[in-house]
Amino acid sequence: MNNLLKQTLSISVLSIFFGLAAIAAPAKKPYGLGIPISSGTGGAVRSIANSLLIPLAPEDGGRTATERPTFYWYLPSSNNFPYKVIFELRDPTDNNGTVIFKAEGIATNAGLYKLTLPQNSPALKPERVYLWQLRLRGSTASSNLQSIGSIVLTKVDEDMQKAIAKASTNNQKAQVFSDNGYWFDALNIYTSQIDSGSKDQTAAQMRASMIKEVFNSPTTGSPDEITNVTNLIEKINSVKATELSAYK
């Protein structure tokens, strides 16, 4: 493990441990975990104007109710394609940040990408904060990119279970997860609904609202930031998500 990655993981582990008390129980929105943000724990890229790798997740980590969740990221147009994409899931409970799952593929063009942890991967353990890392390797050293985010599996409580069981549509189910701050589950349900070809405008609108919340708020962001986020949403809405295993 190179020194930069060791340093990043060390910062991430410290930030996670200091933030554990803030994520002891499910919380209503916002989606983040409340983990102190450092150079190693950012999940989403806050300044997206010139970003070439944009993970779709809260900056301070996100919650899931799924043992093998789905991760999403967007790659804007650039001159650096194709990229070798390396996804790693790390357990930071030891100082080395042990890799417990790894997948590789090639991204040949701009677009929305995803990775769902397969059945042969270790299931997430409850209330343990994991690190998920994306590394993109381009044709030159300057085109190499890296991002690290955090995720925690939190079991749903009885009230949430009842609300999910009562939901009669996928959008209603996603709304329950969204209302309770389960970013990864809500995003995946909305995206799956959109990609199904049903032309579900409600799902697209709700997903757009989620993305606005974790990037630059249209009520507090600068005009340029609002424009950047709006453009990002339009680009995401124009494509289907490509699974990592589909372009190995």
Domain boundaries, the chain: 3-240
- DSSP label at 52? S
> Residues 149, 79, 108, 131: what is their CA dihedral angle, to the nearest 10 degrees?
-10
For the entire predicted model, the pTM comes to 0.86
Query: How far apart, in whole angstroms, are the C-alpha atoms of residue 106 and residue 71?
Result: 16
Architecture of domain 3-240: Sandwich (2.60)
User: What pLDDT does residue 217 have?
Assistant: 52
Judged against a pLDDT cut of 50, whether residue 22 lies above it is answered with no
Residue 40 token pair: 């190693």
Alpha-carbon torsion (6, 69, 54, 141), positive or negative:
positive
User: What pLDDT does residue 248 have?
Assistant: 57
Provide the b/e sequence for 187-200 (b: ≥16 CB within 10 Å): bbbbbebbbeeeeb
Q: What is the pLDDT of residues 172-216, one digit of tens each?
A: 999 999 999 999 999 999 999 999 988 789 999 999 999 998 886
Residue 199 token pair: 């032309």
For residue 186, give every residue at least 6 positions away whose Cβ sits within 8 Å of its Cβ, in sequence order, or none: 174, 175, 177, 178, 206, 210
